[in-house]
Structure 1
Amino acid sequence: MGSNRLSGAAAVAVLASLLSTTGAAQWIDYPTPGTPRLPDGTPNLLAPAPRTADGKPDLTGVWRGAGPLYRFNIAQDLNPADIQPWAEALFLQRVRDSRKDSPLARCLPVSVPFHNFFNLTRIVQTPALIVMLYESPNSPHRTVFTDGRDLPKDPNPTWLGYSVGRWEGDTLVVTSAGFNDRGWLDSAGHPQSESFRLTERLRRRDFGHMDFEMTVDDPKVFTRPFTVKRERLLAADTELLEDVCENERDASHLSGGAGIVLSPALLATYAGVYELAPGREAVVTVTGDLLFVQGLGEPKLPLLAQSETAFVSTATPTGFEFIKDAQGKVTHLMVRGADGDRKAVRKGASAPAQRR
């Protein structure tokens, strides 16, 4: 099982089931029938993609989430003008509140984009429909109809919406609409509205790799559509784990305490580029009255202030402390984690344009 199955708040919800059952009872190491193998018995993930009787790519299998880069903050590549002011304000408030009202924390269903980045998904493909089973306590399954029907004209809004699919060559194109406005697009708290329309493109390029593309179009939340492209990997020789949400008991663990509020002017003195090691940098930026930190190729994470110089991540058990010289100028950043402290020297007071 990959590390992307257990991260942030999701790890807490899954932990209880891991402790209460044995791995042998869940077939997590049972060889998946029909899997091509290398001479040493390991799955050959570069073998040709399987096809159904009608010649279409067969997406059937257990697939890992699309990785950590966007699962905490799906809008991290957008500019401030790309997000409606009310939606940005709500997102920042949810971050300040340590996501205590997250659907995941309240044992409510989570959104389709949330599922696409977290944990495992089993795809079961038939000629007329495709079923997606999620390793999640709140949203166990989703149906994509591929029988030629259109989306409902006036649907009753639901958590996972309504989905239809069609084939464009070897790519499955899934269009979904009819969502309610209670879902969170990511674990940090970007909202969705009933105008939300989602387009996903899935192409199994070989046995173990799937090109995945997701376009978010919600004009009430964002001023323009945007697309995220990632890769999904086959999780061979494993199965989904049962995961049960226990209402208030889980909610108490999944919500944290809020930090203190610092002025944007003070936060601006911390913005800049910090070098952890040659070629490894962390970029600190300011949005409103919150700091964000992002490493190259890593998620953009908000930080909550615990004092004027000490902050904690809302997604990982990592602390950040800004160190100043005798003149009050920030010279470096201490990153405090379970494996010890790391010093990041400040290189500049502003982030590169493409990283803002």
Structure 2
Amino acid sequence: MNSRRLCAAALAAGLAIAVPSLAAAQAPPPPKTAFRPPRTADGHPDLQGVWTNAAVTRLERNPRYGPNLVLTDAEARRIEAKTQAQIDLGNKPTDPNAKVTDLPADCSGGRGVDCNYNAAWTDPGSVVMRVNGQPRNGFITSTADGRVPMRKDIKVSPFGRSLQPGQSPSDNPETRALGERCLLSFGNSSGPVMLPGLYNNTYQVVQTRDQVVIDVEMVHDARIIRLDATQHLPASLRPWMGDSIGHWEGDTLVVETTNFHPEQVFRGASAHLKVTERLTLVGKDRLHYAFWVEDQTVFSQPWGGEYEFARSKGPVYEYACHEGNYGLVGILQGAREEERTGVKTAPTNVDQKARPASDGEGGEG
């Protein structure tokens, strides 16, 4: 065999190996349900109401349970019991003689000065997320290990975006995270992809013939999904939460979002990010949510997953973000003091504030 044929054979073999891995990256299949959803006046399923995605389960699987997507019932009960014990501890009256290191806090069930809130002030959820009754170890279904398939050459800033060389997150308010500036939710509550966070995991869906609006409790974000459009905005227009266009496929609302704001970064992706969401009522009080994420400049392959919203009682309360809040002022004052004295204090990492309170059982948010 000459060298040209040898190269061709090697290339074909390489493609044969590569194709299965690419084929494995598939969006979650439509949920199997016999539920007949109520209809709006225009005949489409009525998704309206208040919903919550609060859960101890997180986007990526907890390696403590290996690559398994589905937990055993015993594992789920143990996680929920441990979470409830932490909640009960946080709800107890605080000993007036207690030190900071004695208080239950939100850093993976630990205690100490580097944690942010006393656990009593957080509400990340107390149950394992279930899909079709199955307790889940994570939301991602498209990868074997349930992790985000990042390209090896991509480094993701803990603040969600890259700073300029020599720039510090505490230089000024504009270099702090969007949630601290009350511009967008902590973590990725507002979406897309909509993910549970530290607290305020409540969403209200309002639906008309031409639009669906999702009011996100965290930092009072309102996502507007246009049903009367087929083309996205010009590339120069990039609103917060991107430009969302929706349509109905049977009883499923399909939403495609592009044109993300340059400061809104999801797992390192922004400018070329495309997220497709599918919302399907699978029960009177259960709303199946599937997502598919694409950006070849950041991810090694498209990826996605699923979870279920649960219907929530009561209204969505106003999120008063900065009224009486001295956190951002304190962060900047602390940075100026470090510059004056040259003495470094405990690091201020916004991901701790954005990270949901849990004992680590539910994986990484």
TM-score, structure 2 as length reference? 0.50
- Equivalent residue in structure 2 for 1:104, among 173, 179, 183: 179
In the TM superposition, what is the alpha-carbon distance from 1:231 to its structure 2 partner? 0.7
Amino acid in structure 1 at the alignment position of 2:192: P
Q: Which residue of 1 aligns with 2:196?
A: 117
Which structure dedicates a bigger proportion of its chain to helix? Answer: 2
Shift of 1:53: 2.3
Q: Where does residue 77 of structure 1 map in the other structure? A: 146
Distance 1:193 1:87, change over 3 A: farther
Q: Is the 8 Å Cα contact of residues 63 and 235 (structure 1) preserved in structure 2?
A: yes
Any unmatched runs of 5+ in structure 2?
1-33, 62-138, 162-167, 333-344, 349-357
How many residues end up aligned between the 2 structures?
213
**Residue type at the aligned position of 2:177:** S
Q: Contact 2:192–2:241 at 8 Å: present in 1 too?
A: no
Select 1:144's aligned residue among 218, 225, 247: 225
Letter in 1 for 2:153: P
Distance 1:252 1:227, change over 3 A: farther
The 10-residue stretch of structure 1 (120-129 or 102-111) with the greater mean CA deviation from structure 2: 102-111
Counterparts of 2:283 and 2:236, CA distance in 1 = 36
The answer for the alignment partner of 1:319 in structure 2 is: none
Out of 101-110 and 196-205, give the one that drifted further: 101-110
Are the structure 2 counterparts of residues 47 and 72 from structure 1 closer, same or farther at C-alpha, using a change threshold of 3 Å? Answer: closer
2:257 aligned with 1:257, yes or no? no
Question: Is 1:60 aligned to 2:135, yes or no?
Answer: no
Would you say 1:161 and 2:242 are equivalent positions? yes
Q: Rate the CA distance shift 1:55–1:93 in 2: closer, same or farther, 3 A.
A: closer
Using the TM superposition, name which of 191-200 and 150-159 deviates more: 150-159
Query: Over the residues paired in the alignment, what is the CA RMSD in angstroms?
Result: 3.8
CA distance in 2, matches of 1:65, 1:158: 24
The 8 Å contact of residues 237 and 259 in structure 2, kept in 1 or not, is answered as: yes
Would the alpha carbon gap of residues 52 and 93 (structure 1) be closer, same or farther in structure 2, given more than 3 Å must change? closer
Measured after TM superposition, the shift of residue 225 of structure 1 is 1.3
Letter in 2 for 1:82: M
Question: Residue type of the partner of 2:285?
Answer: G
Alignment CA distance shift 1:226-1:252 (3 Å)? farther
Identity %: 25
How far apart are residue 106 of structure 1 and its match?
2.5
* CA-CA distance at 1:114 after TM superposition: 6.2
Higher relative contact order (CA 8 A, sep 6+): 2
Which has the higher mean CA deviation after the structures are superposed, 194-203 or 216-225?
216-225
Structure 1 segments unaligned to the other structure (5+ residues): 1-45, 260-292, 302-356
2-side partners of 1:51 and 1:64: how far apart? 21
CA distance in 1, matches of 2:48, 2:153: 41
Structure holding more strand per residue? 1
Deviations 1:53-109 (A, max 9, x none): 232111001110263433699888326x63353334x24999xx9999332122222
Q: Which residue of 2 aligns with 1:241?
A: 317
Question: Which of 253, 266, 272 lines up with 1:195 in the alignment?
Answer: 272
